[in-house]
Each structure stands twice: as structure tokens, then as C-alpha cells.
Amino acid sequence: MTSVTAMSKAIQTIAEFMTDIEEYQTKEGQIVRRNKLGYAQKRILNGICYAAAMTLQSSKTSHDEAVAKVRLAAKSHRGDELSEVQLARAIEWAQRIETQIVHLEQVLEAATYRYEQHTDERFVTPTIKPQAERRFQSAALDAAKRYGIDGEMTRGGGVEVASEEAA
């Protein structure tokens, strides 16, 4: 059994565990079937999808940073052992993230399929949106000004659900 199949079966098992179908008669006399645990099932499956989607987006950002670090380490390689170790570590980090991305894409695909299958709703993938950047300084950043490096750094982050048009 492939890992993708195993993941899909695991999510299916969770979905089935959270299924308790009941039949009831409407005022119009129709017999309707519904899942008594539908709300909880939807929340759990959505949580799996959400966690996979957000971790995947974060990993893709980390991969961009890792690739930049590989480029920097390769560009600044001096032919010595320390440079070689720094480059090897940067490459290993990028490769680790690439493997993580592949697995997360498979988890998200399996989870989204099961979510849509059991809820009859489309999963809307959330996106990380930039928030107001926070500026920060440190003694080392102040000292870096001496070498022509801007001494202020910024950080951003946040989460937003993608609009229907973007999906």
C-alpha cells in the first residue's frame, strides 16, 4: 500500500467513525437521511485540510528561504571545509523541505477529497496574507550598518481565507 493510499484510508476511517446516519420524515412526508454527527465530522475533516494547507504554504515559504541560503552558501564558497559544511547543510535543509512539500501536497489532496466526499462542500484553501510589518533592531544589526547593511529588519505574517474567486 502506498503512503498516499494509507493516508486516504486513515482520513476515510476518521470520516466513517464520525458518521451516524438517521432517517426522519419531513413535514411534507419525505424520508430524509442525514448524518447526526455531520457538524463534528465536517469540523474534524476541515481541521485536517486546514492544517495540511497552512503547513504546505509555510513549507513553500521556507523552501524559498532555503534555496536562497543554498545560493548564498554556493556564492560565498571559499573552497575550505567550513564553506563546504555550510553549503551541504543548506542543501540538506532545502531537500528536507522538498520532501515535506511532496508529502503535504499528498495529505492535502487526500484530505480535500474526503472532506468534499463526506460534506458535499468544496474545501476553500486558506492563504497566508502579509500583515503589517513589525520593525525590530538588535545590537548585531546595528553593528552591521558599518558594513553597509540596513540595520532594521521587518517581519510579517498572518492567515486569510482565500476568496471564492481566487480559488
In this prediction, residue 166 carries a pLDDT of 46
Number of residues that this document lists for the chain:
167
Phi, psi of 68, deg, nearest 5: -60, -40
DSSP 18: T
Query: How many whole angstroms separate alpha carbon 43 and alpha carbon 82?
Result: 49
Task: Write out pLDDT tens, residues 106-142.
Answer: 999 999 999 999 999 999 988 777 666 666 677 877 7
167 vs 143, more confident: 143
This prediction has a pTM of 0.72
CA-based nearest residue to 41, from 64, 70, 68, 20: 20
